[in-house]
Chain A
């Protein structure tokens, strides 16, 4: 009856949850010290190319209205 079909679909859901958890439990993890060090290195190595960090010179700023210049 309807109670049985609800029970069996809950069972199917529970089986899927367990299957997914088994997969996630088997993930190979590296040490946080290694992971964080790599992130830090990436950040610092790319810092000089980061316009928002370094500042954008007015002459190269596409969002700034160009200063008018007089031509003779």
Chain B
């Protein structure tokens, strides 16, 4: 097949070109630059609250934009919306399918989304007398791994069918489909300016997308296994990824490459979840080994640990005001630390 061979040669040539282009600007390391920075203080966060109520493994959590409420999803078949200041449950949303893998709350606080092995993203309105299903977004051909609202009428989803999608909630239809990954999409994060988003997949790569035109702008490689978690640096110019290869990486969008790596020879548990403190200095990473490690994002040193869960930490989140960090676990509890 002459043409296939030609295309393969061209692809290999372009990959070499990209690698050369990245090497050409790789004039120093973050480690060198950060050597002069004072070490972050030894971070000793205390468990301030334990939210009890779920009856099975927790798979996802998402803080409300009001910094006080939070939604969590469990395979007990429920979404719970919490008032984290009092520890009380405010709403319970029963799920049609208990095989939920993720949840999210709209910035307005009016809507929550959930989905999982049912391949659907279900949107519920929680501001009526009782929670009501608004839409069932049903077009993905694989499980729903992640979702994030842009506003009350648009939501982004990531799926095991290797695509991500932007949906119009007024019509329930797909607006834009993001196709380029060759493995299950596991996670996504929206840029602070809401013009782009980043996705992580089982093909070990992270991709930056233009939300409106659906184009993949950049691809970041280096991980050697599934990327389970991804987050934007608060500056919007870098992303942090967490992987089954037991490491986290920081990719700078403008240098188009990895600029820092977070790993420890003693750590042989995959990273399940990641979140950053408000300045970006601290990276909170949940691992399969029941702990959450705290990393100094600049010096790539471990500066603390959150231990207290009796099973895998599956999700982590820091609210917009940065006042605390919440961990969710397969032990069915959510813990808030600061």
- Supposing A31-B255, A35-B254, A36-B33 touch, asked if A50 and B3 sit within 8 A by C-beta, the answer is no
On chain B, the residues within 8 Å of A34 by CB distance are: 254-255
Q: B30 touching A36 by the CB < 8 A rule?
A: yes
- Supposing A49-B279, A53-B282 touch, asked if A14 and B43 sit within 8 A by C-beta, the answer is no
Q: B218 touching A50 by the CB < 8 A rule?
A: no
Is the CB of B88 closer than 8 A to any CB of chain A? no
The CA of A41 and the CA of B15, in the complex, are separated in Å by 32
Q: B33 touching A52 by the CB < 8 A rule?
A: no
Total contacts A-B at CB 8 Å: 176
Chain A interface bracket (under 10, 10 to 19, 20 to 34, 35 or more): 35 or more
The CA of A15 and the CA of B28, in the complex, are separated in Å by 35
On chain B, the residues within 8 Å of A32 by CB distance are: 25-30, 252, 255, 257, 259
Interchain nearest-CB distance for B330 vs A (Å): 23
- Supposing A40-B33, A46-B280 touch, asked if A52 and B256 sit within 8 A by C-beta, the answer is no
Is the CB of A1 closer than 8 A to any CB of chain B? no
The CA of A47 and the CA of B136, in the complex, are separated in Å by 42
Q: B318 touching A52 by the CB < 8 A rule?
A: yes
- Supposing A32-B27, A40-B33 touch, asked if A63 and B324 sit within 8 A by C-beta, the answer is yes
Is the CB of B1 closer than 8 A to any CB of chain A? yes
Label chain A's interface by main secondary structure: helix
Q: B27 touching A61 by the CB < 8 A rule?
A: no
Within 8 A of A (CB), among B41-98: 41, 43, 45, 48-49, 68, 84-85
On chain A, the residues within 8 Å of B338 by CB distance are: 51-52, 56, 61, 63
User: Count of chain B residues with Cβ under 8 Å from any Cβ of A?
Assistant: 67
On chain A, the residues within 8 Å of B27 by CB distance are: 31-33
Is the CB of B17 closer than 8 A to any CB of chain A? yes
Q: A38 touching B235 by the CB < 8 A rule?
A: yes
- Supposing A11-B3, A11-B7, A33-B27 touch, asked if A52 and B84 sit within 8 A by C-beta, the answer is no
Q: B325 touching A52 by the CB < 8 A rule?
A: yes
Q: Which residues of B contact A (CB under 8 A)?
A: 1, 3-4, 7-8, 10-11, 14-15, 17-18, 21-22, 24-30, 33-34, 37, 40-41, 43, 45, 48-49, 68, 84-85, 180, 215-219, 233-235, 237-238, 250, 252, 254-257, 259-260, 277-282, 297-298, 318, 321-325, 336, 338
- In the assembled complex, 12 residue pairs joining A and B whose CB atoms fall closer than 8 Å, in A order, are A15-B7, A21-B10, A24-B216, A27-B21, A31-B25, A36-B30, A42-B233, A42-B235, A50-B281, A50-B322, A52-B325, A63-B338
